[in-house]
Amino acid sequence: MSLTKPTLVIGNWKMHLNVQEASLLVHRLGKHIKPHRDVEVVLAPSLLALQPVSLEIDRRKFRLAAQNAFYKDEGAYTGEVSFTMLRELAHYVLIGHSERRIYFGETLENVRDKVQAAVRNEITPVLCVGETKQERSDGQTRRVIHDQLTTAIMPLTSEEVEQMVVAYEPVWAISTFGHELAKPGEIEKVFRLIRSEIKELYGSNAAENVRVIYGGSVDDQLAGGYLELDDCDGVLVGAASLNYKQFSGIVDSAYRLEHRSEKKP
Ligand code: PEP
């Protein structure tokens, strides 16, 4: 885990919680989570709840992420919301989540365009990459990660890559797709691959400073084990982020580990 960057804990609420329910969860999280200098807690409500939630959060404790946006800044695109419209609301945006790739047919190029649009609008992209169960059993993991990562970051400068977040989320480990627990060695191997691909394209600074996080059935019991992995800068949490006790437990694990690493010589 990086000693200089705060640990990132992102809660992806997906298409759950109406505005009232979102407000209740924010209220409960606010009571249970204390501001931590070393842990950055990010909430990703639905697009509809993003604006009301932005008025309710304690900004010392929480930042916001959008779950998606369209890559054009403005125009006749019925039903879409642009990154330009989100720039005052969201610090982060999830891009290339497996649910978007699988259910909405987002291609490598769509993801690349969205990453570019986020950067253009000064919103930090959280680029999600990960192989399906079939790709894993076919021995295609390295190729899938390579393709998803390199296509998405190709138009960026090394400074832009340095600022972004890459979330490794094996599709088979996401609670709604497979719920299979990934082994630490397996995750670390992909973390190393992500950094080495970035090093090759953008050099050591970008490879060392990009934040690489893990997602896939993370809950309050498992979070510590993932956060302890070599090179893990945080977690992306789906189902468990809807439960305030679980999510604040995950934030506590991140805080305990950061606190421990501060004390290391
Ligand atoms: C996700 O959807 O990004 C995710 C990791 O979900 P879950 O924690 O429910 O597996």
Contact 183, 195 (CB under 8 A): no
Residue 263 has pLDDT above 70, yes or no: no
148 lies in some domain: yes
34 lies in some domain: yes
Confidence of residue 264 (pLDDT cuts 50, 70, 90): very low
Total domains in the fold of the chain: 1
* Model-wide pTM > 0.75: yes
2 lies in some domain: no
Pocket test for ligand 1, best of 42, 176, 179 (most atoms within 8 A of CB): 176
Ligand 1 within 6 A of 216 CB? yes
121 lies in some domain: yes
36, 40, 97, 106: which one is catalytic?
Answer: 97
Concerning whether 258 is annotated as a catalytic residue, the answer is no
High-pLDDT (> 90) share of the chain, %: 92
Q: Which residues pair with 41 in a beta bridge?
A: 9, 62
CATH number (domain holding residue 33) = 3.20.20.70
Concerning whether 179 is annotated as a catalytic residue, the answer is no
1 lies in some domain: no
Residue 212 has pLDDT above 50, yes or no: yes
60 lies in some domain: yes
**Packing angle, helices 19-32 and 244-262, rounded to 10:** 40
What's the gap in Å between 173 CA and the centre of ligand 1?
8
pLDDT for position 265: 42
Task: Look at residue 203 and give its three-state secondary structure.
Answer: coil
Query: Domain range holding 247?
Result: 7-263
CA distance 176 to 162: 31
* pLDDT tens-place string over residues 219-262: 999 999 999 998 999 999 999 999 999 999 999 999 999 887 65
* pLDDT tens-place string over residues 66-116: 999 999 999 999 999 999 999 999 999 999 999 999 999 999 999 999 999
